[in-house]
């Protein structure tokens, strides 16, 4: 048995779905441009620098889910998939996922971006399992807060291990395990698998990958 884990943003996607979701809502007038565009860019820069406070970011990112109806959110998300997500999905990403599936590997998408945003993207890629930050709900309405451990940095390792445990599995059950990522924030999970792969990595991850002899894929260079 083998395991294949995939980061989403700037890995399988040639962009960041979290950032683009907020930009999509701004473009529709759902969020005020002056109030949200600068803050969105600030959080994105913090993420790339490895300094992001995930709970501060989630307060920002999940607020729009709590402030709007599920029907409206679903409509906006369908537009988001058509205009922003599918153009960021190239054939290389689809082929990589399919190659692991054809090998019979257990596959999962592992992303810090919340599951409302990423669920349809996961289905678009035909990946059967999603490990994402979970936006809490009460009676079907989003609360604006996360539930459980965000799938971010060390939290990705925790969430993957919880998922494997729910299947009656553990790391040692796998002959090989892959994780594909672009970000220094994913070093904890990259260091856990037997076959870490850097995809268009940021400068810190690139230096680490080169020193460790990890493969580097150049798909959509920064």
Q: What digits encode the pLDDT tens for the residues 183-194?
A: 999 999 999 999
Residue 158's alpha-carbon distances to 26, 42, 163, 175, in angstroms, are 33, 27, 9, 20
- Predicted TM-score (pTM) of the model is 0.94
- Check residue 39 and give its pLDDT: 86
Quick one: average pLDDT of 13-22? 93
CA distance 89 to 91: 7
Mean pLDDT value of segment 61-83: 95
The three state secondary structure string of the chain is CEEEEECHHHHHECCCHHHHHHHHHHHCCCCCHHHHHHHHHHHHHHHHHCCCCHHHHHHHHHHHHHCCCHHHHHHHHHHHHHHHHHHHECHHHHHHHHHHHHCCCEEEEEEEEEHHHHHHHHHHCCCCEEEEEEEEEECCEEEEEEECCCCCCHHHHHHHHHHHHHCCCCHHHCCEEEEEECCHHHHHHHCCCCEEEEECCCHHHHHHHHHHCCCEECCCCC
pLDDT confidence of residue 13? 97
pLDDT of 222 > 70? The answer is no
Assess whether pLDDT exceeds 90 at residue 44: no
Q: Which residues are catalytic?
A: 7, 9
For the chain, the average pLDDT equals 94
CA neighbor of 199 nearest in space, from 178, 175, 176, 215: 215
In the predicted model, is pLDDT for residue 82 greater than 80? yes
Question: CATH number of 2-217: 3.40.50.1000, 3.40.50.12160, 3.40.50.2000, 3.40.50.12140?
Answer: 3.40.50.1000
What pLDDT is attached to residue 107? Answer: 98
What is the pLDDT confidence band of residue 50, given thresholds at 50, 70 and 90?
A: confident
Inter-residue contact 88 to 13 (CB < 8 Å) = yes
d(CA 15, CA 36): 19
Tens digit of each residue's pLDDT (9 = 90 or more) over 130-164 = 999 999 999 889 999 999 999 999 999 999 999 99
Identify which has the larger pLDDT, 52 or 119: 119
Name the band, by pLDDT with cuts 50, 70 and 90, for residue 38.
confident
Asked whether the predicted pLDDT for residue 56 surpasses 70, the reply is yes
Longest dimension (CA), the chain: 51
Predicted confidence at residue 188, as pLDDT, reads 97
């Amino acid at each position: 048995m083998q395991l294949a884990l995939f980061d989403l943003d700037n890995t399988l996607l040639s962009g960041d779905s979290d950032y683009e979701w907020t930009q999509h809502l701004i473009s529709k007038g759902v969020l005020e441009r002056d109030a949200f565009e600068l803050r969105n860019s600030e959080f994105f820069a913090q993420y790339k620098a490895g300094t992001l406070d995930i709970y501060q970011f989630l307060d920002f990112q999940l607020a729009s889910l709590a402030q709007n109806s599920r029907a409206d959110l679903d409509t906006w998300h369908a537009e988001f998939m058509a205009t922003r997500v599918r153009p960021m999905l190239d054939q290389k990403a689809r082929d990589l996922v399919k190659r692991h599936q054809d090998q019979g590997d257990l596959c999962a998408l592992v992303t810090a971006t919340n599951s409302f945003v990423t669920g349809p993207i996961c289905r678009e890629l035909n990946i059967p399992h999603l490990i994402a930050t979970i936006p809490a709900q009460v009676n079907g309405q989003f609360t604006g807060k996360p539930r459980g451990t965000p799938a971010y940095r060390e939290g990705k390792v925790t969430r993957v291990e919880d998922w494997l445990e729910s299947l009656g599995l553990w790391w040692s059950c796998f002959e090989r395990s892959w994780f594909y990522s672009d970000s220094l924030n994913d070093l904890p999970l990259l260091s856990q698998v037997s076959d870490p792969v850097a995809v268009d990595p940021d400068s810190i991850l690139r230096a680490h990958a080169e020193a460790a002899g990890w493969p580097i894929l150049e798909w959509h260079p920064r």
